[in-house]
Amino acid sequence: MKITPVNEKIGAFVEDVNLNSLAIHEFETLYQALLRHKVLFFRDQPLSTEEHIALGQRFGALEPPHPFFPHLTDNDQVVIIETARGNPPSKSYWHTDMTWQVVPPKCSILHAQFVPEQGGDTIWCDMAGVWADLSAAEQSELRSLETIHALHAFEDSRYDHLDANGESIVIKRSRDYPPIRRPMMQVHPETGQEVLFINEQFTRSIINWSESASQLRLSALFSKARQVQYQVRFSWQKGSVAIWDNRATQHFAVTDYGDTPRRLHRVTVQGEPSLAGKPYLP
């Protein structure tokens, strides 16, 4: 197995390995590489649905079906991320997966079924690196703050529509996922790294701050996370796999390919109860 870091902060390519037949020591090597590099990239991995599921389960129990995303008919834990002719992707946001639920996921495994010849890259950001580069005064300020995470970003998206009663299904299903309050900084449960745990898509505001002050502060932090020195960019090919640590990263899907057909399958691993947020009760 050959592991080649992309840069000093985030990302590594893994070669000479078959994800379908990992020995115990090989999996442990991959797991430690994931903790170190935060996102791992693989080429030419022909995973079946069953093999994809089995690989995910080696990292932990899988998340239940996503409340909005489409999934395979024969396995509702495999999300389909697809673009088709006449159905281009909706606006993309930097995000950490599912921070709107009480316990956010541990990691995700994304497998490319088919992709455009050009475009459709994904970018990941090292949020531990972003935190580490804040000044001591900024870190001291942010340690005492909490933010609200919620499902608002899915409203009026391609995943939203009106039900028979004329009600948005996102608003309707959001009642099962009320807003969550989280510390702005969280400690990674395995590496001990401090992580700036906010994201553009699901972090709504800073608790006990005015709306204007909250958005100004969050915008400045989001801008820092968009700086290229914290990022790694991956160009997909058929059979490519990316595995990322959701507890230390956020990512962005580049939607520069119009409605050129593109399909990826994702399984997501449940996170640790130690990172659970609390219901926000204004």
Q: Show which residues are catalytic.
A: 95, 97, 251, 266
d(CA 198, CA 207): 13
d(CA 182, CA 219): 18
d(CA 79, CA 265): 6
Under 8 Å between Cβ of 148 and 280: yes
Q: Which helix (H) or strand (E) holds 182?
A: strand 180-183
Q: Is 101 exposed, middle or buried (0-12, 13-18, 19+ CB in 10 A)?
A: buried
Q: Which helix (H) or strand (E) holds 70?
A: none
d(CA 182, CA 146): 5
d(CA 6, CA 37): 9
DSSP for 224-263, written as a single string = HHTSGGGEEEE---TT-EEEEETTTEEEEE---STT--EE
Q: How many CB atoms lie within 10 A of CB 4?
A: 11
Q: In whole angstroms, how far apart are CA 178 and each of 134, 250, 272?
A: 31, 22, 19
